[in-house]
A and B are shown apart, each in its own frame.
Chain A
């Protein structure tokens, strides 16, 4: 069986036919070539695959592509505008919020969701908001700094 889906990805309409078991993360990476959403744990724990679905941060390894029919999906590839980095991307650069970078797309999309809910979060609220995203490199300190940097630029 296949399912036809129509959705918007990074502002562009997409139409596709997928197997029901196609996970959103595989659809984005393999069918659309958007490899920004990484696959880390595959068990819903690490957050590397986080994307926005209708504005909500979601782990795309725990959602079927079929469930995203009709939705608007944003991946890390959709954040920069006309070549200008999003303030969060700039923040991770300026504040050294990444080392290997594997967790970074997911971190940035979770942080994006957090700032949409709470434009000026405390350190504690940033850590709580990013609880579903694991980083094995940075120790998180500079990630918190990066999010604060972006919060200031975006306010």
Chain B
């Protein structure tokens, strides 16, 4: 099984890649190729031109500065999972990346490709929304950033424009007293998340001062759950279960493996467990 014919261009810089995008209509960027190549093999995608950006070192790497962590779009899931900087400042992102697929997929797949592809079963989107990350994009006319919560627009649809490259994400560091967790109910064959829950809670003097929960795999885009009822409580199991049961998706996605109703149910269960795990780590 192989893709339809296409022309291959390798970009040596972000500017060159942007130029190639301008030059070739319907061209596709390729980072790790771990969503694009499977789609091309199934002929679900048949781009006339593929622009390989996989070697742009300027888009790789993880660095902390001024209270947030910048992760280059071409950073692999394996590097994110193994990052000491993320373990110290945003452990939940490293945790989620470590749950992606398998070792081989993590060696090739990148964070930029993951969120640009925006599969509802992806592990990274709910974490970025939970953390309030910003996604940075570059086009010939300049750079801009968009909040992760606005970046994901619909199934496989994001705010990346046709002439834009995603350069990096900025993830605010979690403060002291904050615990976080990502829990995933995995599809047994593909390894993708059927449902994934990302949670964080901040505890001061035994009381919760802030809490967040975002669930992937239930709606077309990550679903934020209002868990503000936890603020001021001692985060008892009952309070957590009540808060997580607020998960509501107007039009849940469903497929042959898991119906919409089932996904909502599993989302509540995993949301509860993720909040409890975050509490225990706070």
Contacts and interface: CB of A to CB of B under 8 A. Distances in A.
B91 interface: no
Contact of B108 (A43, A47, A63): A63
Contact of A20 (B7, B34, B102): B7
B108 A58 contact: yes
A113 B6 CA distance: 32
Contact of B103 (A19, A63, A69, A129): A129
B2 A44 contact: no
A132 B105 contact: yes
Given A20-B5, A20-B8, A44-B38, A66 B104 contact: no
B3 A62 contact: no
Nearest to A60: B104
B8 A114 contact: no
A5 B78 CA distance: 26
A25 B107 CA distance: 17
Given A42-B41, A67-B54, A21 B107 contact: no
A133 B33 CA distance: 19
B33 A26 contact: no
B103 A43 contact: no
A57 interface: yes
Q: How many of chain A's residues touch chain B, expressed as a range?
A: 20 to 34
Q: How many of chain B's residues touch chain A, expressed as a range?
A: 20 to 34
B101 interface: yes
B204 to A, nearest CB: 36
A64 B52 CA distance: 10
A20 B102 CA distance: 26
Interface string A11-44: 0000000011111001000000000000000111
A62 B103 contact: no
Interface in A111-155: 113-114, 129, 131-133
A62 B107 contact: no
A40 B33 CA distance: 19
B2 A45 contact: no
B191 interface: yes
Contacts of A47: 102, 104
Given A43-B38, A64-B8, A67-B33, A113 B52 contact: no
A3 interface: yes
A66 B52 contact: yes
Contacts of A64: 8, 33, 37
Contacts of A42: 1, 41
A19 to B, nearest CB: 7
Contact of B104 (A20, A23, A59): A59
A100 interface: no
13 contacts: A3-B8, A20-B8, A47-B104, A56-B107, A57-B104, A62-B108, A64-B33, A66-B10, A67-B54, A114-B103, A129-B103, A131-B102, A132-B102
Given A1-B7, A21-B6, 8 more contacts: A20-B7, A43-B1, A43-B41, A44-B37, A50-B104, A56-B108, A66-B8, A132-B104
Interface of B: 1-8, 10, 33-34, 37-38, 40-41, 50, 52, 54, 78, 101-105, 107-108, 189-191
Interface of A: 1, 3, 19-23, 26, 42-45, 47, 50, 56-59, 62-64, 66-67, 69, 110, 113-114, 129, 131-133
The 5 closest A-B pairs by CB, nearest first: A132-B102, A20-B8, A56-B107, A42-B1, A131-B102
